[in-house]
Structure 1
Amino acid sequence: MADLILHHYPTSPFAEKARLILGFKKLAWKSVLIPQIQPKPDVAALTGGYRKTPILQIGADIYCDTALICDVLEHLAPAPALYPAQGKGLARTVAQWADSTLFWTAMAYNFQPKGAADLFGKAPPEMGKAFAEDRKAMSVNMTRLRPLDAIAAYKSYLRRISDMLEGQPFVLGDAPTVADFSLFHPLWFTRVRTPSMAGILDHTPAVLEWMERMAAIGHGDMEKFDSASAIQVAAASQPHSLLVDSTFQDDHGIALGSLVTVASESFGPEPTEGELIAATRTHFSLRRRDERAGTVHVHFPRIGYVLRKVETPA
C-alpha cells in the first residue's frame, strides 16, 4: 500500500483529530505541513479547490473531510475499531454533532479577545487580520454563534460530555470510538491553543481526566515530508480507492461521467470540479487532472457536501 500522507498544520483542531486516530490505529504516516490560510497552491494541485484541513493522500487518491478519512483508516486498520459493533450509529451521530455544533460553539468561545491573543499576540498584527479575513471568506454560508452566546452553550455541552463519562473511561464505554475523537479536538483547541480560555474546562473534572486519557494515545509513527514530494507521489501513482461501497445511488439525476462540482454546504465553500466517477450512499468521487499532480481521484463524504452538474454552453 502507498504511504499515508496527511496534509495539515499543527494548530488545526480537525488535524489533531486525524493525528490522534492515526496514533490510535498505530499507523505510520508522513506529515506535510500546509499554510493556515490561502493561497495553498500545493493543496489545490491535489484537491482542485477544496481547502479545508486536513486532507489524507494515499498515492493519487485524495480523501477530504475527517468524516471520510475515518472510514478510510478504519478500512486500513479495523482494530482497534472506531465504530463499535454495538452502537455504531450512536457513535457516528455523536461524532457528527461534535464536529459541527460542539466545534463551532467552542470556536466562538475560544476566539474571544484573550483567546485570539494566545494565538496571534506574538505575531505581527497583519497575521491575525489575514487569518480573520480568510476564515470570513470560508464562512459565507454560515450563521456564526456570537461569543457571548457561546459561553453558556459551551458550559452546557461540557456538562453533557461529563454525564456521558459517568462510570466509564470513554463516552460510549471502555474504549474510545469515533465519538471520543470528535468530541476531543474542539476541547483540545481550548486547552492547548487558547489556554487563557481553558478555565471553562475546570468545572467538569471528569472531562479533564478523559482528555488526559485521549491525549496519551499520541500521534503514532510520523515522518516529515514535503508538499512537492507529495505531488510527485500523486503524479507517479494510479488512483485506487480504498472506499469499499461502490453502488451508484442517484439522488440528483446526474449520470456517472458528468462534469460536476462538489463543495461543502457550509464552511469552506470552494468547489472542486471534475468527472463524477462515484456517487454512493456514503461518498462522492471525482476524477480530475492537474499539470503537476497528474490524474487524481478526489473523494468527499456525501453528508455535508453539495453535488452540482456543470452546465456547458449550448
Structure 2
Amino acid sequence: MTELILHHYPTSPFAEKTRLMLGYKKLKWKSVIIPMISPKPDLLALTGGYRKTPVLQIGADIYCDTALIADVLEHLQPDPSIYPEPSKGMGRTLAHWADNLLFWTAMAYSMQPKGVAQIFGNAPPEAAKAFGEDRRAMSLGMPRLRSTDATAAYKSYLRRISDMLDDWPFLLGEVPCIADFSVYHSLWFTRTRTSVLAGIFDATPAVLAWMDRMAAIGHAQFEKFNAADAIAVAATATPAPLRDDVFQDDHGIALGSRVTVSGESFGPEPTEGELIAATRMHYTLRRTDERAGVVHVHFPRIGYQLKAVAPA
C-alpha cells in the first residue's frame, strides 16, 4: 500500500478525528504540519483551492474532508470496521450531526473570551486577530451561535450523549464506530485546548470516561514528513485507477467537463478541474499543478457543491 500522508496541525479537531481513526486501524502514516490559517501554498499545490484541515494524500490522490477520509481508511483496512453492523446507517447519521451541529456548538462555546485567552495566551496579540479573520472568511454567510446560546445547547447535547452511554462503553455498542470519532473531536477541543471551560463536562462523568477510552486508542505509528517531499511524492506518482463506480448525474454535467467543487457553507474556496467521477458518494477532479503534477482530488458529495465552469 502506498504511504499515507496526513496534512494537518496538532490542535485541529478534525485532524484529531483522523489521527484516532488511523490509530484504531493501526495504520502507519506520515505527518506533514500545515499552517492553521492561510496562506497554505504547499497544501493548495495538491488540492487546487481546498484549504480545510486535514487532507489525506496517497501518492497522487488527494482526499478532502474527514467524511471521505473515513471511507478511504475503511477501504484500505476493513478490520476493525468503523461502520460495524447493524448500526452502520445510524453511525453515519450521528456522525454527520456531530461534524456539523455539535461541532459549531462546541466551537462557539470554546471560543468565548476565556477560551480564546487560553489558546492565544502566549501568542502575540495579532495572532488571535489573524485567526479570527481567517475563520470569518471561511464561514462567510454562516449563522453564528452566541456563546450563551451555545452553552445551553452544549449542556443538552452532553446529557444526550451521556444517555447513550448508559448500557454500552461506546455510543452505539461495544466497539467504537464513526459516530464515536465524530462526536469525540469537538469535545476533545474543549477539554484539551480550552481546559478553563472544561467544567461543562462535570455534570456528565460518563462522557468523560468515554473520552478517556477514546483517547486511549492513540494515533498509531507515524513519522514527521515535510511538505516539499509530499509534493514530490505526488509529482512522481500516478493517480490510482478509478474504481468502476456508476456515474450518478444529478447536475446535467457530463464527465470530462470543467467544473468546480466547493464547500456548501464552511470553506467556500473552490477547486477547479476536470470531472472524471461522480458516484453516489463522491466527486473526483483531475487537475495539473506545476509542482505536484497530475493529481486526482476527491470530495464527498454531501456538504459540497458541483458547478460547471462557464466557457471562456
**Counterpart residue number, 1:260:** 259
2:47 & 2:167 partners in 1: Cα distance? Answer: 43
The aligned runs of 1:17-166 (5 Å cut-off) are 17-166=17-166
Cα distance, 1:141 vs. partner? 3.2
The aligned runs of 1:185-204 (5 Å cut-off) are 185-204=185-204
Cα distance, 1:258 vs. partner? 0.2
Moved over 6 A (4+): none
Q: Deviations over 1:274-299 (max 9, x none)?
A: 00000010000000000000000000
Q: Deviations over 1:24-54 (max 9, x none)?
A: 0000000000000000000000000000000
The aligned runs of 1:170-185 (5 Å cut-off) are 170-185=170-185
**Structure 1: gaps of 5 or more residues:** none
2:141 & 2:59 partners in 1: Cα distance? Answer: 32
The aligned runs of 1:249-288 (5 Å cut-off) are 249-288=248-287
1:36 & 1:46 partners in 2: Cα distance? Answer: 17
Q: Deviations over 1:172-194 (max 9, x none)?
A: 01000000000000000000011
Does the residue aligned with 2:201 lie in a helix, a strand or coil?
A: helix
Does the residue aligned with 2:86 lie in a helix, a strand or coil?
A: coil
Cα distance, 1:245 vs. partner? 6.4
2:204 & 2:244 partners in 1: Cα distance? Answer: 40
RMSD, aligned CA: 0.8
Alpha-carbon spacing, 1:204–1:282, altered in 2? closer, same or farther (3 Å):
same
Does the residue aligned with 1:240 lie in a helix, a strand or coil?
A: coil
**1:245–1:280 Cα contact (<8 Å) kept:** no
Alpha-carbon spacing, 1:165–1:118, altered in 2? closer, same or farther (3 Å):
same
1:195 aligned partner, one-letter code: S
1:56 & 1:246 partners in 2: Cα distance? Answer: 21
Alpha-carbon spacing, 1:283–1:245, altered in 2? closer, same or farther (3 Å):
farther
1:226 & 1:80 partners in 2: Cα distance? Answer: 30
Does the residue aligned with 2:81 lie in a helix, a strand or coil?
A: coil
2:98 & 2:89 partners in 1: Cα distance? Answer: 14
1:299 aligned partner, one-letter code: H
The aligned runs of 1:198-277 (5 Å cut-off) are 198-240=198-240, 244=243, 246-277=245-276
Q: Deviations over 1:254-307 (max 9, x none)?
A: 000000000000001000000000001000000000000000000000000000
Does the residue aligned with 2:202 lie in a helix, a strand or coil?
A: helix
1:273 & 1:206 partners in 2: Cα distance? Answer: 45
Alpha-carbon spacing, 1:174–1:51, altered in 2? closer, same or farther (3 Å):
same
2:283 & 2:251 partners in 1: Cα distance? Answer: 12
**1:60–1:296 Cα contact (<8 Å) kept:** yes
**Structure 2: gaps of 5 or more residues:** none
TM-score (norm 2): 0.99
TM-score (norm 1): 0.98
**Counterpart residue number, 1:306:** 305
